[in-house]
Amino acid sequence: MNIKSKTNVVSWSFISIAVLMICVFYFYPMVQALILSFKSGTGTNLNFVGIDNYQRLLTDTTFLAALKNTFLYLIIQVPIMIILAMFISVLLNDKNLKLKGFFRTAIFLPAVTSLVAYSVIFKYLFGADGLINTALMNLHLITTPIQWITDPFWAKITIIIAITWRWTGYNMIFYLSALQNIDNSIYEAARIDGASSSRQFFSITVPLLKPIILFTSITSTIGTLQLFDEVMNITKGGPGNATMTLSQYIYNLSFKYTPDFGYAATVSYAIVILIVIFSILQFKLAGDKNG
Partner 1 sequence: MKKMMALLLASMMLLAACSSGNSGKTDGNGGTTGGDKGNEATKVTVWAWDANFNVKAMNLAKEAYAKDHSDVNVEIVENAQNDIVQRLNTGLSSGTTKGLPNIVLIEDYRAQSFMQAYPDAFYPITKNFKASDFAEYKLGPTSVNGENYGLPFDSGVAGVYVRTDYLEQAGYKVEDLQDITWNDYIEIGKKVKETTGKDWISLDPNDMGIIRMMIQSAGSWYLTADGKSADLAGNVALKEAFEVYKNMMDANIVKIHSDWSQYVANYNNGSVASVPTGNWFTASITAAEDQKGKWAIVPFPKLAGNAKSVHASNLGGSSWYVLNVDGKEKAAEFLGATFGSNVDLYQKLITDVGAIGTYKPAAEGEAYKAPNEFFGGQNIVSDFSKWTAEIPNVNYGMHTYAVEDIIVVEMQNYLNGKSIDQVLTDAQKQADAQIK
Q: Which of 42, 53, 57 is nearest to 261 (CA)?
A: 42
The CA distances from residue 123 to 147, 150, 152, 165, 238, in Å, are 12, 11, 15, 14, 13
Q: How far is the CB of 64 from partner 1 (least distance, A)?
A: 11
Stretch that binds partner 1, among 108-116, 147-155, 270-278, 281-289 (CB under 8 A): 147-155
Which amino acid, one-letter code, is at 103?
F
Binds partner 1 (CB under 8 A): choice among 7, 12, 51, 134: 12
Interface residue with partner 1, options 238, 278, 279, 286 (CB under 8 A): 238
Q: From the list 258, 287, 289, 290, which residue makes contact with partner 1 (rule: CB under 8 A)?
A: 258
Q: Is 180 exposed, middle or buried (0-12, 13-18, 19+ CB in 10 A)?
A: exposed
- Radius of gyration for the chain, computed over Cα atoms and rounded to the nearest angstrom: 24
Q: Does 7 bind partner 1 (CB under 8 A)?
A: no
Cα angle vertex 221, ends 243, 211, to 5°? 155
60 binds partner 1, rule: CB under 8 A:
yes
Q: How far apart are CA 84 and CA 79, in angstroms?
A: 8
Distance CA 124, CA 191 (A): 49
Closest CA relative to residue 136, chosen from 151, 126, 150 = 126
Q: Give the number of residues in contact with partner 1, rule: CB under 8 A.
A: 44
Which span sits near partner 1 by CB under 8 A: 41-49, 108-116, 211-219, 281-289? 41-49
The residues in 119-138 that bind partner 1, with binding defined as CB under 8 A, are 123, 127-129
In the complex with partner 1, which residue's Cβ is closer, 58 or 141?
58
Angle between helix axes 28-36 and 261-286 (nearest 10 degrees) is: 120
Residue 143 vs 181, nearer CB to partner 1: 143
Taking the complex as a whole, the smallest distance from the CB of residue 289 to partner 1 amounts, in Å, to 23
For 57, 81, 143, 148, the CA distances from 139, given in Å and listed in that order, are 47, 27, 10, 17
Give the one residue of 33, 152, 275, 286 binding partner 1; rule: CB under 8 A. 152
65 forms part of the interface with partner 1 (CB under 8 A): yes
Taking the complex as a whole, the smallest distance from the CB of residue 283 to partner 1 amounts, in Å, to 24
- 26 binds partner 1 per the rule CB under 8 A: no
Q: Could you tell me which stretch among 111-119, 143-151, 176-184, 208-216 binds partner 1 (CB under 8 A)?
A: 143-151
Which residues, 6+ apart, have CB-to-CB distance to 278 below 8 Å? 218, 221, 222, 225
User: For binding to partner 1 (CB under 8 A), which residues are involved?
Assistant: 8, 12, 16, 19-20, 23-24, 27-28, 40, 42-45, 56, 59-62, 65, 123, 127-129, 147, 149-150, 152, 235-242, 252, 254-259, 261
